[in-house]
Structure 1
Amino acid sequence: MKYSKKAFISSPLLWVIALFLGMAACQPKTEEQATAEERETTTESKLEPLTSENVVEVLTAYEKEHPDSLILISTRHGDIKLRLYPETPLHRANFVRLTKAGFYDQGEFYRVVKGFAVQGGDSDNRTMKQGAYKIPQEFNPNYIHKRGALAMARYGDERNPEKESSSHNFYITLGEPRTLQELRAYEAQHNIKYTPQQIELYTTIGGEPALDQEYTVFGEVIEGMDVIDKIAEEPVDGQKWPLTIVPHKIKTIEQ
């Protein structure tokens, strides 16, 4: 079976890496995935497909009715707890909506680059459809691609000058500590100014500043970065696809 994912993230420092470039790759089907069609969603029996015309209206209304902000991602390596930002309401609502519908229970972490990011949300074996839509970008200077940042992938620049996000492909940032000189260069490149706190984060825990103001950050890991590190250690093929798939189940949890 061939993957047809098109949303991606990329870094100017990693053009030679085939990560997140929408390239096709074969993946073995596990027993769990083979029975995906038989699994029933637990909260919503159906997921109404969205379109480019109604996405903002639907997500705006959904956001008002569903204030969920804590997310739990379960994998065979353990659990990851994340907090979604209220200041990115469309992205938060979209992620919660797909989660509550069981959409992400038919997904996996399907591309991995150690030291850069792990990307999830998609699967060849998904039966649930979310519709063909993109989410308007919600760049916020307060939220950077520090280690543990949750962001949405997006489609290529030529087709997407507004830098709108994918409907469902997400990633969690890894990244190494950066020097102050590097950060000053990224400030000039992206026409931004990092706060002292952001500089401290980048120079201590690390991250990927090349992605700032390019992809919407809408949450962060608050527990389980060790699980992300384990996923990042998965053996991969030449296209950065894990040799053994890493399925995920995602749910909202109480505040």
Structure 2
Amino acid sequence: MNRFLFAGLALLAACNQTPPPTAAPVVRKDVPGPDIAALTDSTAPAALLAYGKQYPGSEVLIKTRLGNIRVKLYDDTPIHRANFLLLARKGVFDETMFNRVVKNFAVQGGQTYNARTIRLKRYRLPPEIRGTTHYHKKGALGMARYDDEQNPGRLSSNTDFYLVVGEKLTPDQSQAMTRRQLTPAQTKVYATQGGVPALDGLYTVFGEVVEGQDVVDNISNQPVESDKWPVEDIPLKVEVVK
């Protein structure tokens, strides 16, 4: 049990670290949609909701050197979904990589490194936590966040996402890892598929892997540096496929 809790705290700490100063990204200006550089915490929700209605999408393909990961985006997290679609179409994610990997816990992407790191205006997203339907089962797609001490509203990062790996848990283990009361269905999924209930209710889950979970697991098993950055970089590209 301590192993799970330690891993959870490791990713939570990573989500709370402010990204370093960075170089500007190349954003596809020929792609329709809001001007990313003009979005703020207050203007992003309405702009993204309007974008999502005009330019819908439901599935993306995350391409890596270890294989592809197909992800379904949830309809009832429309702001996070529209933001992910917008950044994918504008090529923002194509300059990023998996930057934090915790074995048997989760893999986090959306940043690059040093001079190659994106400087993207860090507007944030309001939480869209759907605790009873969207939770941190194996394969869940969630959004990280930063500066929790100055972020009482738990606003999500606009670029830093993670995919859950986790491990199978007994009902007692899974319930002990969260302050929320798990449903019988959730307890069964955590026992048969695995996941990280310690994150439930804390971060927005807005999609799930439908193909390529073996790729996520492979990324989770890659050798990492002391800061959990993979020894060999794992760049990624995101393509909207449906």
Q: Normalising by the residue count of structure 2, what TM-score does the alignment of the two structures yield?
A: 0.86
- Indicate how the Cα distance of structure 1 residues 220 and 133 shifts in structure 2: closer, same or farther if over 3 A, else same: same
Cα deviation, residue 84, structure 1: 0.3
Deviation of 1:157 after TM superposition, in Å, equals: 2.6
CA distance in 1, matches of 2:111, 2:28: 16
Q: Which runs of 4+ in 1 moved over 4 A?
A: 15-19
1:143-180 residue CA offsets vs partner (Å, 9 max, x unmatched)? 01000000000114311111110011000001111111
Q: 2:186 aligns with which of 182, 192, 198?
A: 198
Relative to 1, partners in 2 of residues 1:180 and 1:40: Cα closer, same or farther, differing over 3 Å? closer
2:127 corresponds, among 122, 131, 137, to 137
**CA shift for structure 1 position 231:** 0.9
Q: Say which of 69, 81, 85 aligns to 2:70.
A: 81
Stretches of structure 2 lacking an aligned partner (at least 5 in a row): none
Residues of 2 paired with 1:40 and 1:167: CA distance?
15
Corresponding position: 1:170 with 2:161: yes
Distance, in Å, in 2 between the alignment partners of 1:78 and 1:119 is 16
CA–CA distance in structure 1, aligned partners of residues 126 and 5 of structure 2: 23
Is structure 2 residue 144 aligned with structure 1 residue 157? no
Tell me the number of residue pairs that the alignment of Structure 1 and Structure 2 aligns. Answer: 229
Q: After the TM superposition, which of the residue ranges 175-184 and 131-140 deviates more from structure 2?
A: 175-184
Mapped to 2, the partners of 1:113 and 1:186 lie a distance apart of: 17
Residue type at the aligned position of 1:169: D
Counterpart CA distance in 2 for 1:70 and 1:164 is 23
Unaligned runs of 5+ in 1: 1-10, 26-35
Tell me how far apart the structure 2 counterparts of residues 15 and 85 of structure 1 sit (CA, whole Å). Answer: 24
Could you tell me the TM-score, scaled by structure 1's length? 0.81
Distance 2:209 2:128 in 1: 19
Residue equivalent to 1:147 = 138
Partner of 1:22: 17
- Note the alpha carbon deviations across 1:6-52, whole angstroms, 9 max, x for none: xxxxx743377476253889xxxxxxxxxx97x77496289531112
- CA distance in 1 between counterparts of 2:93 and 2:155 reads 20
Cα RMSD (Å): 2.5
User: Matched residues, percent identical?
Assistant: 41
Matching of residues 17-96 of structure 1 within 5 Å: 17=10, 20=14, 22=17, 41=28, 44=31, 47-49=35-37, 50-96=39-85
> In the alignment, which residue of structure 1 is the partner of 2:235?
247
* Residues 42 and 102, structure 1, Cα contact 8 Å, conserved in 2: no
